[in-house]
Structure formats: structure tokens, C-alpha cells
Amino acid sequence: MKKGGIPKFVIYALLIACCSIPLFFKIPIPNKPSDPSVDFYKTLSALKEGDVVLLGSDWTGSTRGESKGHMKAILRTLMRKNVKFVIWSSADPQSPRAALDVIAEVNAERVANKEEKFQRWTQWVSAGFYPNADVAINAVAQDVRTAFGSRRENDTNGVQQQIFKSPVMQKIKSVTDFDLVIDVTASKTTDFHVQFISAKNVPLMFAVTGVMVPETQVFYNSNQIKGFIGGLKGVFDMEQMMEKGINVKDANGKIAVASDKISGEIAPLPGVSVGQGTKYYPTLHVALLLMIIMIGIGNYEMISARKRQKGNG
């Protein structure tokens, strides 16, 4: 088939222009969070002070547009609720560093906001990276004390100790002792988590990239996971729910973020909640709109060409 009329460089230039321009303006966008996002936030909100979360970080710079936003939103929520967490990775050797950098960023944000820094060892620990995701996740599901047993961290006195001596891990004897397992991922670790960890009846949730949403929806529909946030929309959903709560009326009696998944309301989470989701969501809008326009033009050209051929024939 003959190639379309618009040259590639024009399409590319249009994309660059359309994606860059919204970054310079603050554009408020109405939003209705998706059901899986609401369930995700509802489960996070139900955590109590002192609960312990196993937080998988299985993403790298390539998907940071989505995954970093997920990670930040989750960390902000956990830290504000004083929920302890254990970070670990099994998908990519870069992942632990990426996660540690985000924790440092959120901590810096807390310090700037006159909140207390979330302390390593007493409030969170890192169990590091484990090669071979399926075996690693299975090992954690079967016997977390053996799987993480050899990992060490500096305690508050600077002495290296096994992470199980940390206050974070005090009550952890098996994976079922975690109050929640979350995996921020851009890879197949979702399948292994469902296969091995969900089978132990531990509450499980995912933060996945946009392209992974359809397959993650399967686990959500079958109730194997409590909820999930997907892609940039997921980041925006989280930031909106943290900032404005769910079903909370403002001074004019209007509800900013409404959901019929919640019978009552969930109050906003005080502190800095808005971030890259709110910043990039207008860009996503424009990019999707541009895609629809390009599909329309392409189809119009095809129909015109067919009509011309018929006319000539």
C-alpha cells in the first residue's frame, strides 16, 4: 500500500510540540478514578500505624514516567500513615537503586515540609536484589526468613545486623505476617506474585505500567488482587485521591473525586500529594487526542483513495 500523505518528520514534530506545550501550563483536568485505583487507595488507607508492607520495586528508568510516580505516591502514603515497609527487587539489578533514590527524594520532601524523616532500620529496611524473579518470589512466599535471612543493614549505631533484627521485621515469621504486599513493576513479576504470594492469602496489590493494565485487570476481576493502579492515569488517580479524598464535599458542596465503590468517604491525606501524575496527565490527554486525530486522517485518506480509484475505474 502507498504510504500516507503526511511525512514522518511532520508527525514526529507534531508529537514533540503537543507533548511539550502542556508541560508549561497548569491545566486542571476533571477525573473519575478507575475502580481498581479506588480499591488500591482504599486498601492503602485501611493500613494502621505499625503495620508492615512488603514493597517490591521492579522498575527502572525506562518506565519511570509511570513507575516512579506510583512509587512516590505509595511511599508518601505509607510514610504519612507511619506504616513500616521492606523494599526488595527481583526483576532488574537497577531496581533497588531506583527505589532508594525515590525514598531519598520523598524523605527530602518531608524534611522540607517540616515532617520527620522516615528512618532506615527502624521504619524501613531494604532486602536488596534477588536474581531470577520466579524463584525469588516463590522463596519469599514459602519461607521469608530463609529468603531474606542473609541480608544485613546498619542499625542505628552503625553496626551491621541481619534485617530480621530490625524493628520493621520483628513480627515477620512468614509472608502471611505482612499486612500487605505491593509490587511496583514493569515486568512479569505480577504473574509470579499471584502464583506464589496470592496463594498464601496475603493481601496483594500492583502498580503496573499502562501496557500491563489489560492483563492485570484479569487478576483484579478474579479477586486475586485487592486493587491496582495502572499507567499515568493510575498516578493521577492516586494523587487526586490523596489530595482531595474520595466522596468528600468541598465548601460549595461539590465532590471533587467521586466513586460509588466507597459507601462513605475517605478524607484527604495531609501533606504534599501532587506530583508527576498531575503534571503529565494533560500531556497524556493531548497525546491521545493527537493519536485519535491521526487515526482519523489516516482513515479519511484511505476512504478518499478508494473513492478516487472507483471513480477512475
Helix, strand, coil percentages (3-state) for the chain, rounded to 5, are 50, 15, 35
Q: With contact defined as beta carbons under 8 Å apart, do 178 and 150 qualify?
A: no
Nearer to other proteins, 65 or 271 (CB): 65
H runs (alpha helix) in 131-229: 133-142, 144-147, 189-192, 213-221
108 binds other proteins (CB under 8 A): yes
Q: Which of 35, 109, 177, 265 binds other proteins (CB under 8 A)?
A: 35
Question: Which member of 233, 239, 279, 280 binds other proteins (CB under 8 A)?
Answer: 233
Does position 217 interact with other proteins (CB under 8 A)? The reply is yes
In angstroms, what is the minimal distance from the CB of 87 to other proteins?
Answer: 14
Scan residues 42-71 and list those touching other proteins (CB under 8 A).
60-65
DSSP per position, 238-295: HHHHHHH-BS-B-TTS-BSS--TT-SS-BPPPPS----HHHHHHHHHHHHHHHHHHHH
Shortest Å distance, C-beta 30 to other proteins: 4
- The full length of the chain comes to 313
CB of 220 to other proteins, least distance (A): 9
Choosing from 42, 80, 97, 165, the residue that interacts with other proteins (CB under 8 A) is 97
Nearer to other proteins, 21 or 288 (CB): 288
Q: Would you say 273 and 78 are in contact if contact means Cβ atoms under 8 Å apart?
A: no
Site for other proteins contains 20 (CB under 8 A): no
CB 206 within 8 A of CB 74: no
Nearer CB in complex with other proteins: 249/306: 306
Question: How would you label 281-291 residue by residue, b for 16+ Cβ within 10 Å and e otherwise?
Answer: bbbbebeeebe
119 near other proteins, rule: CB under 8 A? no
Should residue 150 be labelled a site residue for other proteins when binding is judged by CB under 8 A? yes
Q: How would you class 83 by CB atoms within 10 Å of its CB: exposed for 0-12, middle for 13-18, buried for 19 or more?
A: buried
- Give strand ranges (E) for the chain: 52-58, 84-89, 124-129, 152-154, 160-162, 180-185, 204-208, 227-230
10 or 267: CB nearest other proteins = 10
Which of the stretches 27-35, 40-48, 69-77, 269-277 binds other proteins when contact is defined by CB under 8 A?
A: 27-35
Distance, CA of 14 to CA of 98 (rounded, Å): 32
Span near other proteins by CB under 8 A; candidates 25-33, 79-87, 248-256, 264-272? 25-33
| List 267, 291, 304, 307, residue binding other proteins (CB under 8 A) | 291
- The amino acid present at 188, given as its one-letter code, is K
Contacting positions for other proteins (CB under 8 A): 3-4, 6, 8, 11-12, 15, 19, 29-32, 35, 60-65, 93-94, 97-98, 101, 104, 107-108, 130-132, 135-136, 138-139, 142-143, 146-147, 149-150, 154, 158, 214-215, 217-218, 221, 233, 236, 281, 284-285, 287-292, 294-295, 297-299, 302
